[in-house]
Amino acid sequence: MRTVAVILLALGLVACASTKATVTDPNAPKTPASDAELFEAGLKALEGGGGSEGPAKARNMFAELTLTYPESRWVRVAEIIVRLLDDQERLIESIQTDAKTASEAAAGARRLQRENEQLRKEMNQVRERLQTELGTLQQENEQLRKDLKLLKELEIQLHQRNRTTR
C-alpha cells in the first residue's frame, strides 16, 4: 500500500511538472503560421499607418508571403500590393525631389528679382545723374556760345579801332 501511495504521489508530481521551460518575450514578433495570417497581418500593417513604417512592414510581409507560399491564392494579390507600395515609395521620393527643386527655383527667382530691382534702382540713379550733367553741359555750352559771340563782337570792334587809328 505504501508503494502504491508513493507511485500515485510521483505521478501527481510528474503530471503537474512542466515539460519544457519556455521563455516568452512579449516584444518578440509572432510569425504568422499560414498564408492567410501573413496576408491579414500585411493588411493590418497597411491599415495601422505608423508613418513610413506601416507600408514598409506590410511590403515585407507581402514579399515574405510570395516567397514562403508561392502556391497560395494570395500570392498574386500580394505581388500587386508589393508593386503598388514600391510605386508609391518612388512617387513619394519623386514628389519630395520635385518639391525641393521647386523650392530652390523659387529661391533663385526671388534672388533674381532682388537683383533686378537693385539694377533698376542703379539705372534710375545713373539716368538722374546723366540728366543733371546734361543740364549742366547745356548751360555751359550756351555760356560758351555767348562768350564766343561776345569775343567775335570784341574782335570786330578791335579791328574797327585798329583801322580808325591807322
Q: Give the least confident one: 11-20, 40-49, 60-69.
A: 11-20
Give residue-wise pLDDT tens across range 46-56: 887 667 788 98
What is the DSSP secondary-structure string of 10-70?
Answer: HHHHHHHS-SS-----TTSPPPPSSHHHHHHHHHHHHHH-TTTHHHHHHHHHHHHHHHH-T
- Say whether pLDDT at 18 is over 90: no
pLDDT at 53: 83
Q: What are phi and psi of 36, to 5 degrees?
A: -65, -40
pLDDT at 153: 94
Mean per-residue pLDDT of the chain = 85
Give residue-wise pLDDT tens across range 99-158: 999 999 999 999 999 999 999 999 999 999 999 999 999 999 999 999 999 999 999 999
- Say whether pLDDT at 14 is over 70: no
- Say whether pLDDT at 28 is over 90: no
Q: What is the pTM of this model?
A: 0.54
Please say whether the beta carbons of 83 and 90 come within 8 A.
Answer: no
